[in-house]
Chain A
Amino acid sequence: MLGRAVSPGAVLDAWGGDWFAFVVVGLAVQEPLYAALTEGAARLREARLVGTLEAVLVTPISPTRMVVLSTVTPVLGGVARGALVLGVGSAALGVRLDPAGLPLALVTLVVALVASLALGLLGASFTLVFKRGDPVSSLLHVASALLGGVLYPVDVLPESIRGVAEVIPLTHALGAARAALLPGAAVDGTVALARLVGLTLVLVPVAWWVFRRAAARARAEGSLGFY
């Protein structure tokens, strides 16, 4: 499968034919999205373990806001690492990027971050209810990395699992970002962006509702701050 992707076949032609550039953009976009996906639950768990969670939750900060705000610094770190990957790839490793596509890539990144934060809230919900580490975000991350098209186009995936890739926000985020940034890409990035927006519009209210239910359950059990 990887061999088909690496070989300069028709699959990569749609993305400009340069597999290295394809991967560089994939890794750059994945960095901040991974932080948005995993850090909320990780920070929640850490605050519970060290004992600061209750002290924060007796302030006017809602649990949802606390989890989302706690991801800001890690996400900014992820954005910086992603920019570094693009910068090093472009300046030192000969990757050609289209500067004209930067605005569309940035819009895509913002929408994809919102979708990843929503998925991260689902992971944090698990941590709240079960008082355990968060397997949800980890599973989503593995699924995204394998099926989202970071290292190879999703077109090379077997037909049977390609449908799964379609419901992963990273798939569409990468599609839109690559269409915008890779010269010679023959894919319409706005279609991928529209799908990403659609997924985000579904994910955000669902994740918000699930997390609020999880927090309400933890309050009812009296276990909000306990681990």
Chain B
Amino acid sequence: MRAVELDAVRVVYRSGWSIRALVRGDPASTSRVALDGLSLVVGPGESVGLTGPNGAGKTTVLRVLAGLVVPVAGAARVAGVDVAAEPTRVAARVGFVSVDDRSFFHRLSVWENLRFFAAMYGIGPEDADRRLRRLGALGVDGLLSAPFRVLSAGQRARVALARGLLHDPSVLLLDEVTRSMDEASRAGVWGLLEGFCGAGGAIVVASHDPLDLQRVSRAITLVDGRLA
């Protein structure tokens, strides 16, 4: 079975409704094509790197697969399950890792954050602790009691990766995750990710970094929402 499949996916971002626009009688005044009929298949055990200029659609691919954006045409499937039709079922199989550190609760500790998000997957504190110990290569153990707000950018990225892996996903979506990491951290992370693929997991990573793209099994360049 294919781990990830995009079938002629078209995504159009619209400005959305606003009270002002509705009053003017122009509810969707602007739009931009983010993905233009993109097709992509990723098999189990494979890691695919998405690269390309800003606005090429790399992050949008990840957001479609995470169920945050629904295509206006085409279909996205994870392990054969349609993302738009069954986002909750797909969410249990996907780990979405973004370096947006606003996605954590800054006033809580790292452990409290991870425990909160583990609970969203129905994982209790003891089970979360056990799963976290399996992710030792990320070096998150020593950060658990620290408030999230005091972490460096690289440490936050490692915590984000731990969050994305806690529920044992079969597909990992990484958005520029290694951007702020030092050499040692990056090597540790890629060691872990290669182990993930070795166990049958699939990875789609959006990155500009040639060092990341050297580690993936296949790199794809996107331009204007299409394969280059």
Contact partner of B14 (CB less than 8 A), chosen from A50, A59, A62, A221, is A221
Complex CA–CA separation, A223 to B70 (angstroms) = 10
Q: Does B196 contact A (CB under 8 A)?
A: no
Contact partner of B88 (CB less than 8 A), chosen from A52, A62, A216, is A62
Contact A58 B94 (CB under 8 A): yes
Q: Does A225 contact B (CB under 8 A)?
A: yes
Contacts of B96 in A (CB 8 A): 58
Question: From residue A73, how far is it (CB to closest CB) to chain B in Å?
Answer: 14
Which of B34, B104, B120 has most A Cβ within 10 Å? B120
Contact B121 A219 (CB under 8 A): no
Contact A130 B67 (CB under 8 A): no
Q: Does B103 contact A (CB under 8 A)?
A: yes
Contact A51 B94 (CB under 8 A): no
Contact partner of A59 (CB less than 8 A), chosen from B63, B72, B84, B91, is B91
Q: In residues 138-183 of chain B, which contact A (Cβ within 8 Å)? A: 163
Contact B102 A221 (CB under 8 A): no
Q: Does A121 contact B (CB under 8 A)?
A: no
Given contacts A51-B102, A55-B103, A59-B91, contact A222 B68 (CB under 8 A): yes
Given contacts A52-B105, A58-B66, A219-B70, contact A130 B120 (CB under 8 A): no
- Stretch of B15-23, B129-137, B215-223 lying at the A interface: B15-23
Q: Does B79 contact A (CB under 8 A)?
A: no
Complex CA–CA separation, A225 to B67 (angstroms) = 12
Q: Does A60 contact B (CB under 8 A)?
A: yes
Contact A57 B68 (CB under 8 A): yes
Q: In residues 85-108 of chain B, which contact A (Cβ within 8 Å)? A: 87-89, 91-92, 94, 96, 98, 100, 102-105
Q: Does A131 contact B (CB under 8 A)?
A: yes
Contacts of A217 in B (CB 8 A): 17
Q: Does B204 contact A (CB under 8 A)?
A: no
Contacts of B67 in A (CB 8 A): 57-58, 219
Q: Does B13 contact A (CB under 8 A)?
A: yes
Contact partner of A130 (CB less than 8 A), chosen from B19, B66, B117, is B19
Q: Does B69 contact A (CB under 8 A)?
A: yes
Complex CA–CA separation, A60 to B13 (angstroms) = 24
Question: From residue B135, how far is it (CB to closest CB) to chain A in Å?
Answer: 18
Complex CA–CA separation, A222 to B60 (angstroms) = 9
Nearest B residue (CB) for A55: B103
Contact A61 B13 (CB under 8 A): no
Residue contacts A-B, CB under 8 angstroms, 27 given:
A50-B102, A51-B102, A51-B103, A52-B103, A54-B98, A55-B98, A55-B117, A55-B163, A56-B117, A58-B68, A58-B91, A58-B94, A59-B91, A60-B88, A60-B91, A129-B17, A131-B18, A216-B70, A220-B69, A221-B13, A221-B14, A221-B16, A222-B34, A222-B60, A222-B63, A222-B68, A224-B68
A residues sitting closer than 8 Å to B (CB atoms) are 50-52, 54-62, 129-132, 216-225
A51-B103, A60-B89, A61-B88 provided; 20 other pairs, C-beta below 8 A? A51-B100, A52-B103, A54-B68, A54-B100, A55-B104, A55-B117, A56-B117, A57-B67, A58-B68, A60-B91, A60-B122, A61-B120, A129-B17, A130-B17, A130-B19, A219-B68, A220-B72, A221-B16, A222-B13, A222-B14
B residues sitting closer than 8 Å to A (CB atoms) are 11, 13-19, 34, 60, 63, 66-70, 72, 84, 87-89, 91-92, 94, 96, 98, 100, 102-105, 117, 120-122, 163
Give 6 nearest A-B pairs by CB, closest first.
A51-B102, A59-B120, A55-B103, A222-B69, A58-B96, A219-B70
